[in-house]
Amino acid sequence: MNDTTVDHLLALNRAFYEQTADEFDQTRGKPWPGWRAILPLLPPEVRVLDAGCGNGRFGRFLVQESAARVRYTGVDTNLALLERARAALAEIDAQFFARDLLRDSLPDGPYDLIGLFGVLHHIPGYAQRERLLIGLAARLALGGMLFFSVWRFYEFERFRRRIVPWPADLDVEPGDFLLDWRRGAHALRYCHHIDESERAALVRATGLSEQMTFCADGESGQSNRYTLLRRER
């Protein structure tokens, strides 16, 4: 994927979240069921990087559901959602950065847990998705965990009905789709369908040890595929 297309798709998704921030905040308050898998694995004190943190609900989940003392860092491009995250996590040790996960430097860490949820399908181009995961893996402490999800939208008819045609001038890759938004403001978002072959390739690229993979969430209990990786050396 060429740089012009990458820039166009990143701008498209930034605009999407600026248009839909209120609707997303109202409908994205509950924790994802799949997150519960991490709870038995947390140390007593956990340094967390929430990459693409949105309104901070993963941080709220950890604070409310785990026994760990959470030291939280949230990173997102959307200022409105970052402010909601800041307010929701005001009572814990938390810091927030308005940064693009591809274009800007990430906080150095090291971290015991890095979460990446609802993000990877919005990263345009395989090379960029691989680079992001490698960069996150490099910020793990020894024994630290990278916990990420991929959205399985293309495997469900109700999401395939939202696909709209691409403009002819974009250099997209197989598995790239443009989906419409059907709540509140009219908006379009770029989404990439990460199949099992690509997921496995991304895992190998990180050099981390795969601990588990499973599906959870949504009405079917299958909407997201989760992967938990650990840095062992």
CATH number of the domain that residue 182 is part of? 3.40.50.150
Is the model's pLDDT at 21 over the cut of 80? no
> Span 181-197, mean pLDDT?
85
Q: pLDDT grade, residue 26 (50/70/90)?
A: low
Overall domain count for the chain: 1
This prediction has a pTM of: 0.93
As given in the structure block, the two tokens for residue 101 are: 């996960």
Q: pLDDT grade, residue 51 (50/70/90)?
A: very high
pLDDT, tens digit (0-9, with 9 covering 90-100), for 165-175: 998 778 899 99
Is the model's pLDDT at 184 over the cut of 80? no
Single out the residue of 173, 181, 232, 202 nearest to residue 27, CA to CA: 181
> Span 177-186, mean pLDDT?
79
Terminal-residue alpha carbon distance, the chain: 33
- Give pLDDT, residue 187: 82
Domain that holds residue 112: 3-230
> Span 101-119, mean pLDDT?
94
